[in-house]
């Protein structure tokens, strides 16, 4: 993909000229992108993804989620921060954005942890509402192991060292981002641990795993036109990789329990069963390690799931993927 640096201000000015003042079914919906751990909203790769989205669906306004206006602070916020507070900030940013707030809906693209955070946005806020959500290598059912860091990435090393101390302490759960989607399972019963259910700051809530269910979460997620989950075949960063499909993996035996065999689906805690029954829940695999994406995969996703509603798109929904 092409490499470029674009400031948020210049991007807003240049793209706003192409955004319609009154929306029609022929206009592409705005695309909101949330990057992953250790990345930032101004990174070359994220900018290039936005350019590709506009190339596939001309006129697309792209907004990259940011928790700070400078790249360094935005990257730090992927490691350190309270996800509940961060998500509330993003909800406000999108709801008050001069372009996004005028659209009838938006599309959403989440990379790694950005995927479950966008799902959290849909469940908790959804204003503007999301039409289709596509996630790549996300940790929808949490992680059972924290990732390795690069030799010189001291920010990552510091975060991971703190995570190893006590993942369920209030200090860690309110400050360390990956700890807030860490999920502990009793390997004997196969059920989520009591500590996780009681102390998880983020994941236990948005997965509706606690006894008292939030019906708004279920209603909002079930309203999606498409929920597409890509898993990388050779992913060794996200453990287990099957979390990208809400699957449960026994760490001792390695046995995988697919989503459809789990209570979260059978009892439809989140509306995933409803989405599946209307053909809106899509499971995809792509070759390679975590977040190693090529243009072809992205183009196909943008064309199939983010294009305006046309006869061709409707026919293709029945026929399957096309080559670009």
Give the catalytic positions in this structure. 112, 235, 290
CA proximity to 301, closest of 122, 43, 103, 33: 33
C-alpha distances in angstroms, 156 versus 38, 43, 56, 129?
8, 17, 35, 33
CA distance 71 to 227: 29
With tokens 């390695």, the residue in question is: 254
Q: Which residues make Cβ contacts (< 8 Å) with residue 199, sequence separation at least 6?
A: 168, 169, 170, 173
Place of tokens 């190693």: 292
In this structure, are residues 157 and 164 in contact, taking their beta carbons and an 8 Å threshold? no
Which candidate, 140, 124, 132, places its Cα nearest to that of 217?
Answer: 124
Give the span between the Cα atoms of 247 and 138, in whole angstroms: 12
Tokens of 189: 């019963």
Residue 205 has phi, psi (to 5 degrees) of: -75, -55
Do 114 and 46 meet the contact criterion of CB atoms below 8 Å apart? no
Nearest Cα residue to 298 out of 100, 64, 111, 63: 111
Nearest alpha-carbon partner for 227 in 277, 285, 291, 272: 272
């Amino acid at each position: 993909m092409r490499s470029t640096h674009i400031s948020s201000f210049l991007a807003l000015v240049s793209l706003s000229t192409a955004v319609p003042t009154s929306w029609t079914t022929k206009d592409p919906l705005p695309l909101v992108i949330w990057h992953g751990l250790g990345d930032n909203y101004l990174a070359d790769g994220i900018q290039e993804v936005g350019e590709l989205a506009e190339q596939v669906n001309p006129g697309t306004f792209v907004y990259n989620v940011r928790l700070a206006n400078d790249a360094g602070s935005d990257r730090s916020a992927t490691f350190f921060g309270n996800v509940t507070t961060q998500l509330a900030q993003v909800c406000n940013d999108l709801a008050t954005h001069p372009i996004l707030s005028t659209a009838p809906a938006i599309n959403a693209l989440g990379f790694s942890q950005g995927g479950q955070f966008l799902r959290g946005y849909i469940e908790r806020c959804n204003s503007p509402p999301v039409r289709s959500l596509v996630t790549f290598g996300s940790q929808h059912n949490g992680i059972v192991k924290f990732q390795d860091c690069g030799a010189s990435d001291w920010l990552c090393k510091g975060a991971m060292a703190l995570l190893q101390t006590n993942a369920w302490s209030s200090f860690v759960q309110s400050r360390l981002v990956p700890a807030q989607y860490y999920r502990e399972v009793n390997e004997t019963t196969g059920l989520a641990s009591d500590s996780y259910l009681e102390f998880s700051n983020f994941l236990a809530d948005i997965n509706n795993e606690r006894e008292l269910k939030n019906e708004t979460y279920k209603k909002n997620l079930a309203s999606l036109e498409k929920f597409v989950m890509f898993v990388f075949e050779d992913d060794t960063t996200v453990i287990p990789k099957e979390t990208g499909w809400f699957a449960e993996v026994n760490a001792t035996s390695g046995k995988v329990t697919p989503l459809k065999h789990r209570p979260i689906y059978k009892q439809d805690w989140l509306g995933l069963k409803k989405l599946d029954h209307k053909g809106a829940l899509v499971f995809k695999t792509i070759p390679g390690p975590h977040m190693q994406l090529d243009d072809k995969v992205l183009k196909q996703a943008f064309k199939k799931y983010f294009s305006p509603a046309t006869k061709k798109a409707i026919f293709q929904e029945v026929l399957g993927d096309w080559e670009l």
